[in-house]
Structure 1
Amino acid sequence: MIRKRNSENRGLPDRWRYTHKAYYYQVPPGREAQWDGRKTFRLGKTLPEAYKTWAARLDNQIGVRTIGDLLDRYALEVVPTKAVSTHEQQAIWIRQLRKVFGCMALTSMKPVLVYRYVDQRSKKKTEIITDEKTGKERKKITGGPTTALREKELLSHAFTKAVAWGYIDQHPFKGELELEGAGHRDRYIEDWEVVEVLAMASRRKKGSVLAIQAYIRIKLMTGMARSDLLRLEQGKHIKDDGIHVQRHKTAESSGKRTVYKWTPELRAAYQMALFVRPALSSFLFCNRFGEGYINEEDGKASGWDSMWQRFMARVLAETKVSESFTEHDLRAKCASDAKTLEHARALLAHADARTTEAIYRRRPEEVTPLKGIA
């Protein structure tokens, strides 16, 4: 019977494990000489560092014959180039794809197999997971339409790389599939809902409620993404002429920079954010220790997520707002309320206005009826 991996190791490549605050590789028997004679080789403290070390050791020469081999190289070379916050999720998707297609030859992939995979993975399933440390059981929902499509997209990109790397001459299913998308979210936050949320009383003069209210004010005026807003620092981003931002998500690709010029309303929201901080810090939004909320090692903001969930629970319990909203919904409201599509695109720092139009412009279109016949 195959032993289940510990929760902290699930989604990692085969023979990897996370222990003692670092990633290690369990060297296959007989290959110790290639790994300094060690049976267990330390790869690095962070996931990107571990991938880099592994790539250097293997010298990027992975014999790709099966889809599993292809996914291994994809995990080694492509995943580390993406946002750190996506690494864990992509590792899980790769593990799931490898379970189904891993042993297949690259040339055996057919469109019909992808159709079947998406069909099966689109069905949500409830699994009982037992925590190996505590012995407690919990339910976990796996699969679903969005998960199926994301895994299909990763598999497709892996085959695109297979063509670029010279393993196959043609992508086996690109342009051959007609799958329905999961659909874009269309929640539009009404102005009265914003008023309700910003008027909600705080139990303290400083703290999470007031910090999130200041955050919402800035977000509605600028449309900044969470990863950028939570990284704002005095001097580095806050300057005399405005707030300077280079989108973290596209810093390595487009490198686009935006300056949000000061207005009386934006400056007032900024001053509010400064005043309600629980500690002195270079960060505009910080925890009680003065630390920023983004963990740069994994890209997550767990402390902020918890604050947001508690805040939203209070909103639904204490105001007239009956439907919760997300930070993406706030970003979408900013784009929707901009007078022109180009202004909305510039606020959100999108390279292509089509993304802004398709996903973030959610305000219902107002149409004047024609005159009736007398």
Structure 2
Amino acid sequence: MMAPQKRNTENRKLPQYWRYRKGFYWFRTSPENRHLWDNKVEFKLGRTESEAFDSYARRIAISEDCETMRDVLTRYRLEILPTKANSTQKQRAYCLPRLMTAFGDLKPFELTPSMIYKYMDHVKRVKSEKWANTDLECLSHALSCAVRWGTLDRNPAIGQVRKFSTKGRKHKVSNEDLILFAELLPRKWQLYISLKLCTRGRRKGELLRIKLSDCTEDGIEFRNNKNPDDLYLIEWTPQLKSIIHEIESLPPRRIGSAYLFINRHGRPYINEETSETSGFDSMWQRWMKKAKAKGVTHFTENDLRKKAVEGESLQRAQELLRHTTAQTTKKHYSIRDKISTT
């Protein structure tokens, strides 16, 4: 009896019985399940990987028996990933093919911490430490799900595999750089910076999602980008009211539940489905390039979150920034920016 043919490198990153051919993803059916696939020996799933997974999920029930890591990662891709934020889905869609290529043929219980470390070293070498850490997050979460599904007794990554340590951004936005940068901006974006500082470091997505209907009698209602269940109110101050009223007065006219920050066509700067902010990001980069030519030290929009909590205690900074743990606040804001820990 002939040994089964090995999958080529490109198809090893895909679920079992899948292959990529002539610009499409295909699924090779078996006699037992062929009735689910229009009685075709090979079924065309779609042109893109996302389209293929959607087509696959609609036609077949997710198997609870995960015999290989490929099965675990496939179930994770179909069952768990769609529940995550769009940005997380997009990020982990890059991780999963690499993880399937590396570990897909293993039995889940065969995966060891040393194997994971070797994998991370490889990803660090060919891509970056950041992607190695991201792949570890994805793998560890999938393994935790496998424990919940009864496939594994324990997650071999938790407590035994550490991420590469990453240095927080050292740059601290000076008052001088912030003023020089803001002076170059159109009034709308000057007010955006004022709003970010006045609301004590709301995230970019949270600010760009503000609608007129979010401005209530008591203040502005926000939804935490990182935790959709976290709804909170920032109460009015005279300065905050003044900023909002001036933004509302800028053209074009806003009515009903319109977004606070809109372009000249009345469209928001954030895509609610994908959370992408490409228009805003291009604007920021364009004006920062002009500011750097005038001597401003480069800083990012996210650096203003640190600026907004300067001088606060660690506990208070954590509360203001809506971090789940003080460890996150301390790593990114306290050590580098000298937030008081008393």
Q: Same fold (TM over 0.5)?
A: yes
| AA matched with 2:221 | H
1:292 corresponds to which residue?
268
C-alpha displacement of 1:90:
0.4
Of residues 84, 87, 90, the one that matches 1:88 is 90
Q: Find the counterpart in structure 2 of residue 187 from structure 1.
A: 171
Of 242, 248, 253, the residue aligned with 2:219 is 242
Report if aligned partners of 1:230, 1:285 keep a CA contact under 8 Å in 2: yes
Letter in 2 for 1:168: L
Greater shift in the superposed pair: 51-60 or 153-162: 51-60
- Identify the range of structure 1 (280-289 vs 358-367) with the bigger mean alpha-carbon deviation: 358-367
- Structure 2 distance, partners of 1:46, 1:94, is 11
Residue 54 of structure 1 deviates from its aligned partner by 4.5
Q: Which whole-Å deviations, capped at 9, do the CAs of 1:32-54 have from their partners, x for residues lacking one?
A: 521455744689x996x986774
CA distance in 1, matches of 2:231, 2:108: 41
1:104 to 1:50, Cα distance in 2 relative to 1, 3 A: closer
Unaligned runs of 5+ in 2: 1-6
Change (3 A) 1:260 1:33: same
1:304 is matched with: 280
Name the CA distance, whole Å, in 2 between partners of 1:284 and 1:346: 25
Q: What is the alpha-carbon distance in structure 2 between the residues aligned to residue 3 and residue 153 of structure 1? A: 24
The alpha carbon displacement at 1:166 in A equals 0.7
Equivalent position to 1:158, from 120, 129, 142: 142
Measured in 2, the distance between the counterparts of 1:95 and 1:248 equals 27
**In structure 2, distance between residues paired with 1:174 and 1:88:** 24
* 1:364 paired residue among 331, 338, 341: 338
Find 1:353's aligned residue among 309, 322, 326. 326
CA distance in 1, matches of 2:10, 2:68: 24
CA-atom RMSD in angstroms: 3.3
**Would the aligned equivalents of 2:45 and 2:55 in 1 still touch at CA under 8 Å?**
no
Partner of 1:177: 161
Q: What SS class does the counterpart of residue 258 from structure 1 fall into?
A: strand
The answer to whether structure 1 residue 214 and structure 2 residue 191 are counterparts is: yes
Partner of 1:138: none
**2: distance between equivalents of 1:214 and 1:12?**
48
Change (3 A) 1:156 1:183: same
Is the Cα–Cα contact under 8 Å of residues 68 and 98 in structure 1 kept in the other structure? yes
Higher helix share: 2
Alpha-carbon deviations, 1:4-38, whole Å to 9, x = none?
79xxxxx9975699x9xxxx974434555214557
* Secondary structure in structure 2 of the residue aligned to 1:86: helix
Query: How far apart, CA to CA, are the structure 2 residues paired with 1:46 and 1:347?
Result: 39
Is 1:84–1:298's contact at 8 Å kept on the other side of the alignment?
Answer: yes
Deviations 1:127-146 (A, max 9, x none): xxxxxxxxxxxxxxxx1111
Q: Compared with structure 1, are the counterparts of its residues 67 and 354 closer, same or farther at alpha carbon in structure 2 (3 Å cutoff)?
A: same
Aligned match of 2:230:
256
Name the CA distance, whole Å, in 1 between partners of 2:63 and 2:130.
33
What is the deviation of 1:272? Answer: 3.4
Query: How has the CA–CA distance of structure 1 residues 315 and 267 changed in structure 2, closer, same or farther, with 3 Å as cutoff?
Result: farther
TM-score, L = length of structure 2:
0.82
